[in-house]
A and B are shown apart, each in its own frame.
Chain A
Amino acid sequence: MNWESILPNVFAGVAPHAAEAPMDPPMDNAVFAGFYQRSARPLWAYLARTSGDPALADDLMQESFVRFLCASHPVSLQAEGEVAGRRYLFRIATNLLRDHWRRPQSASIEEIPEEFLAATASSAQSDSQAVLGPALAQLRPRDRQLLWLAHAEGYSHREIAEITGLASASIRLLLFRARHKIAKLLREQSSLPGRQA
């Protein structure tokens, strides 16, 4: 009797079930690299715009991808598609953001002075950025997330519910309120004397 007969593939370093069960092919480095190139920028934009902190967005984006790869039940990009993978990634990032805001020792988004976001926005070259930055800063973090997911990423109400963990039925109302509020703020921003030129 030898070990190979007791535990098949034990010397090859292969898990016993891997040789028998037809599993989904694991994500390889090249597939991940492609997915990363296509998903990292939108994810960073989401994190940076909803948190108002580009450095935090850098950290959380990297952490999101690492957790995506380490997930115990990973999304198979080949089987479920890249859209599902990206949705899962945004969900991880949303949870990380929520954890960050819940942590008592770290600065919460509510504690960040409005000038910080306003200064970030005004330093941007685009005029739309300078208008949207202060308007976003006056909204609650959840509203910022909902608005970004709906209007920048184009997710449906059901997808937003899946990403944020909110009830699907409440998304419509929350989004309607948030949109009404930011539209009002955007109109006020653009009607300021400095903006009318």
Chain B
Amino acid sequence: MILRSCPFEKEVAQLLAQGGWPAACAPELRAHVTSCRSCGDLVLVQQAFQRARAHSTAAVPLVSPGVLWWRAQLRRRQAAVERVGRPILGAQIFALAVNLLLVVTFLAYQVRHGLSWLSWIEQLPQSFTLHLEALWPSALADSGMSLLVLIPALATLALLSGVVVYLAADRQ
């Protein structure tokens, strides 16, 4: 398609925009519009869109501006809270990562150098007047699961539960 602009197009557009078409239009220009395809298109399209706009804007059910104002305030506040909370969340993640790293390092160290210092835990049940073995299910006792495994496992579980509960409460 070749873009051929008519020299009268601007004048016609101006008349249409000011509402002067066709009443305030010179007869020569009107005659030109009937013969010029570009200007004819412009008049046809502009009038159709102006009528459509008038029709569409007449029957719009608008919500109260106060509702939108309130929604915007809420969103702004939420964004501000998120902005403030972002470094705190970062710090929490960093702290958790450091703790996990420490635990892993400690465990690795202990595995390498032996767990001899933990031997006193194995002596604990014998030192109690109450025999804790009596409380364990016989299946556990038979499988040979010692307190050496159970106590650190329970402690880790308690620690992780505490962290999870803290993070959940903090998020709420």
Interface of A with B (CB < 8 Å)?
A: 29, 32-33, 36-37, 40-42, 44-45, 48-49, 62, 65-66, 69-70, 124-126, 128-129, 131-132, 135, 147-148, 151-154, 172-173, 176-177, 179-180, 182-183, 186-187
Contact = CB atoms under 8 A, between A and B. Distances in A.
A44 B41 contact: no
Nearest to B40: A183
A32 B69 contact: yes
B60 A44 contact: yes
Contact of B55 (A70, A129, A148): A129
A179 B104 CA distance: 70
Interface stretch (B23-31, B70-78, B110-118): B70-78
A187 B165 CA distance: 70
Contacts, number: 105
27 contacts: A29-B65, A29-B66, A32-B65, A32-B68, A32-B69, A37-B62, A41-B57, A42-B57, A45-B56, A62-B68, A62-B71, A66-B71, A69-B76, A70-B76, A124-B55, A128-B47, A128-B55, A129-B51, A129-B55, A131-B48, A151-B49, A151-B50, A152-B52, A176-B1, A176-B5, A179-B45, A180-B1
B42 interface: yes
Interface of B: 1, 3, 5, 17, 40-42, 44-53, 55-57, 60, 62-63, 65-66, 68-69, 71-72, 75-76, 79
B146 to A, nearest CB: 55
A126 B55 contact: yes
Given A33-B66, A42-B57, A173-B3, 15 more contacts: A32-B68, A44-B57, A45-B57, A48-B56, A66-B68, A66-B71, A70-B72, A126-B55, A147-B49, A152-B53, A179-B41, A179-B42, A179-B45, A180-B41, A183-B45
